[in-house]
């Protein structure tokens, strides 16, 4: 592609190194440490025998998510939300997005009357924490569901597809894939794309940080994201078959 040099030296269309460490902690039904470059998120999936009020008696299950950053996961210390007494608007936005994304690939009828409660806690942040959370949460959910099937609690998997997310943006005039913190804090346009393994779009969130962007830029970013998601899907499948 172009001649720009990203802070990391990566090509515009290159992902950061991506690894999934399964069974990172021992209590959760699914527990995955996802590393996307220097971003590290611990994603757990808990199987709970309870339902939110709007699902009680429906015969269906539920998938929900919570998100948090450890106070010193960031360059400078961020206030602890538990100490401040409330979650920020950003936190709520992200955990709603994670929940919606995972629900897109879980058949709630087949899940039965139980909740998959996902927790994504950022141990180290270097950009793209919401995307890393979705990627890791999928692996944790797959492990939790595999456990339910192994235990005979589920006869058939409620997973209808895989799900992954990646950020794309315009950095110094060039569309680039998988922004790290240095790029994220200095980019013109920032877009998060959530897609299934089969290529269906689940969520597109594009924001002009500086000047508005054109339709052509949007198309270029979507092309980059689609190619990125394909690579992530391969890694998720490799991790799950390891």
Report the residue number, 202 or 239, with the smaller CB distance to its own copies.
202
Candidates 65, 54, 66; CA nearest to 113 is 54
Residue range at the interface with its own copies (CB under 8 A); choices 8-16, 172-180, 199-207, 229-237: 199-207
What single-letter DSSP state applies at residue 14?
P
70 binds its own copies (CB under 8 A): yes
- Spatial contact of 127 and 74, defined as CB atoms under 8 Å apart: no
Closest approach of its own copies to the CB of residue 26, in Å: 6
- Site size for its own copies (CB under 8 A): 65
Contact segment (CB under 8 A) with its own copies among 1-9, 64-72, 168-176, 228-236 equals: 64-72
Nearer to its own copies, 123 or 149 (CB): 123
**Site for its own copies contains 91 (CB under 8 A):** yes
CB 166, CB 15: distance < 8 Å = yes
Residue 75 contacts its own copies per CB under 8 A: yes
Within 10 angstroms of residue 134's Cβ, the number of other Cβ atoms is 30
How deeply is 31 buried, as exposed, middle or buried, from its count of CB atoms within 10 A (0-12, 13-18, 19+)?
Answer: buried
Of residues 83 and 242, the one with the C-beta less far from its own copies: 83
Instruction: List phi, psi (to 5°) of 117.
Output: -105, 115
Of the two residues 11 and 203, which places its CB atom closer to its own copies in the complex?
Answer: 203
Closer to its own copies by Cβ: residue 70 or 149: 70
Minimum CB separation from its own copies for residue 115, in Å?
Answer: 10
- Verify binding: residue 172, its own copies, rule CB under 8 A: no
Which of 13, 107, 113, 121 contacts its own copies by CB under 8 A? 121
Q: How far is the C-alpha of 43 from the C-alpha of 195, rounded, in Å?
A: 19
64, 178 in Cβ contact below 8 A? no
Of residues 148-167, those binding its own copies (CB under 8 A): 161
The DSSP output letter for 70 is: -
Query: Residues within the annotated binding site for phosphate?
Result: 90, 128-130
Calculate the CA 70 to chain-centre distance: 17
């Amino acid at each position: 592609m172009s001649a720009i040099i990203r802070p990391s030296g990566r090509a515009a269309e290159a992902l950061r190194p991506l690894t999934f460490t399964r069974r990172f902690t021992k209590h959760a039904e699914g527990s995955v440490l996802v590393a996307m470059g220097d971003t590290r998120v611990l994603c757990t999936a808990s199987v709970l025998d309870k339902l939110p009020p709007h699902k009680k008696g429906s015969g269906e299950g539920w998938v929900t998510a919570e998100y948090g950053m450890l106070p010193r996961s960031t360059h400078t210390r961020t206030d602890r939300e538990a100490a401040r007494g409330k979650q920020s608007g950003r936190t709520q936005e992200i955990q709603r997005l994670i929940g919606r994304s995972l629900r897109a690939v879980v058949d709630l009828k087949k899940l039965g009357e139980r909740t998959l409660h996902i927790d994504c806690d950022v141990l180290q942040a270097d950009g793209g924490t919401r995307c890393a959370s979705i990627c890791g949460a999928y692996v944790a959910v797959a492990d939790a569901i595999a456990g339910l099937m192994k235990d005979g609690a589920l006869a058939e998997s409620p997973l209808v597809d895989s799900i992954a997310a990646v950020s794309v943006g315009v950095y110094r005039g060039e569309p680039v894939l998988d922004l790290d913190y240095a790029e994220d804090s200095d980019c013109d346009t920032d877009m998060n794309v959530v897609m299934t393994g089969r290529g269906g779009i689940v969520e597109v969130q594009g924001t002009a940080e500086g000047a508005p962007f054109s339709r052509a830029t949007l198309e270029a970013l979507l092309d980059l994201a689609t190619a990125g998601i394909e690579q992530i899907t391969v890694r998720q499948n490799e991790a799950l078959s390891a």
